[in-house]
Amino acid sequence: MISSRLAVMLLGPVPIVAASLALTQWWRPGGNGVISGNHVLHADEPLRNAKSDSERHAKIADDLKNRLVADCEATAAELKPRLGGECSVIVRVPFVIAGDMDESQLSIWYTRTIAPAARSLGNAYFRTSPSTPITVLLFNGERSYDCYAEALFGDQGISVYGYYKPERRTLVMNIATGGGTLIHELTHALIDFDFPHVPDWFNEGLASLYEQSRFLPNEGELEGLPNWRLPSLQEAVARNRLGSLEALFATDDFRGVNVGLNYAQARYFCLYLQEQKLLAEFYHRFRASHDKDPQGSAAAKSLFPEKSWEQIDRDYQEFVTSLQQPR
């Protein structure tokens, strides 16, 4: 799925997300609230009604938080005996994190990678927070990774790097391949709650954008960087063998014979939008209009209202050609 050369350039630990935060606010200041009806307050009882609404909203948020905490604890309790004594399990709501390492190592992966990446992705894109536990299984090398994937799920012939099981909300990782692999799969897990019908091209394009990435120092924003997928894409451009972006969006064979090139084209379109500070705007437009624009072509075109698709393709390919190949 992704190369072992990937590495996430992290700029230091980020504080742990407190498990006690309300579900609708665990990664966003002023996150999703509970929407109530519109009411006209009577002049003689404004404070009583306002207080009642506030208390009701707080009660709903507390109930959701408590339910998720309980679900995470139950998931951890069920997982421990299945993994055996060589593995540890910790709970960091909404995550249940486990693997063949001690609890302090799992905590480091949470603090330095999982929590800051989830917060950054939530701030940029996602408005729907996780409502069920996300299990993150981190294994120290290919041997234990293969062994546990088969023992737990019966999975064989899997990617050497890691994969996401959406029906179980579970990431299974050969963490020896690096944090970029983890953030790639984490993006899939988080987008599932916010944009469950996202098409393959954008799901994989956005996730693979963060295979090689860094946290910016001031606001903790996650920035995608050029990676190992660039050379094949530049070669396709040079040989005039790269299809149009519209064709990429419309394909029903994203994982077919041209899967490697499709991943690269989708990833670098996301990087192209990121460099123009349009990626988050595209995400929100696409999600809002998905019913009428299921592949995102209209949402993408709306970002460049004065350009034809031919001009957008030319600009995109010029951008790809201008990039320096990573060392």
**Separation CA 282–CA 232 (nearest Å):** 25
Angle made by CA atoms 21, 133, 141, in degrees to the nearest 5: 115
In the three-class reduction of DSSP (H, G, I as helix; E, B as strand; rest coil), residue 281 is classed as helix
**Separation CA 150–CA 146 (nearest Å):** 6
Q: 135 with 169: CB under 8 angstroms?
A: yes
In the three-class reduction of DSSP (H, G, I as helix; E, B as strand; rest coil), residue 143 is classed as helix
Tell me which DSSP letter residue 113 carries.
Answer: I
Rounded to two decimals, what is the model's pTM?
Answer: 0.81
Q: 275 with 285: CB under 8 angstroms?
A: no
Please report, as a single letter, which amino acid is at residue 49: N
DSSP lists the bridge partners of residue 222 as 215
For 28, 141, 191, 194, 218, the CA distances from 202, given in Å and listed in that order, are 23, 29, 11, 14, 27
Looking at residue 60, its pLDDT comes to 65
CATH number (3.90.550, 3.40.1350, 1.10.12, 3.40.30) of 1-23+50-196 reads 3.40.30
Q: Which pLDDT tens digit goes with each residue over 37-68?
A: 332 333 344 444 556 666 765 666 677 889 99
| Greatest alpha-carbon span in the chain | 76
Looking at residue 57, its pLDDT comes to 58
**Domain layout of the chain by residue ranges:** 1-23+50-196, 226-327
In the three-class reduction of DSSP (H, G, I as helix; E, B as strand; rest coil), residue 234 is classed as helix
Q: Write out the two tokens for 185.
A: 């799969």
Count of other CB atoms within 10 angstroms of residue 83 = 17
Tell me which DSSP letter residue 167 carries.
Answer: G
Tell me which DSSP letter residue 161 carries.
Answer: S
Q: Please report how the helices 259-275 and 279-289 are oriented relative to each other, as an axis angle in degrees rounded to 10.
A: 110
DSSP lists the bridge partners of residue 285 as none
Strand 222-224 and strand 134-139: the pairing is unpaired
- List per-block mean pLDDT (blocks of 10 residues) for the chain, which spans 327 residues: 42 37 39 35 44 66 85 98 97 98 98 96 96 97 97 96 96 95 97 97 98 88 96 97 98 95 98 98 98 98 98 98 88
Looking at residue 12, its pLDDT comes to 40
**Separation CA 32–CA 193 (nearest Å):** 13
Q: Which pLDDT tens digit goes with each residue over 60-69?
A: 667 788 999 9
**Separation CA 125–CA 153 (nearest Å):** 31
Looking at residue 61, its pLDDT comes to 65
Q: Among 115, 166, 177, 112, which Cα is nearest to 140's?
A: 177
Count of other CB atoms within 10 angstroms of residue 128 = 17
Q: Among 135, 131, 153, 18, which Cα is nearest to 64's?
A: 131
Contacts of the segment 215-221: beta carbons below 8 A, 24+ positions apart: 215/9, 215/10, 215/11, 215/14, 215/116, 215/120, 216/11, 217/11, 220/14, 220/116, 220/119, 220/120, 221/120, 221/123, 221/124
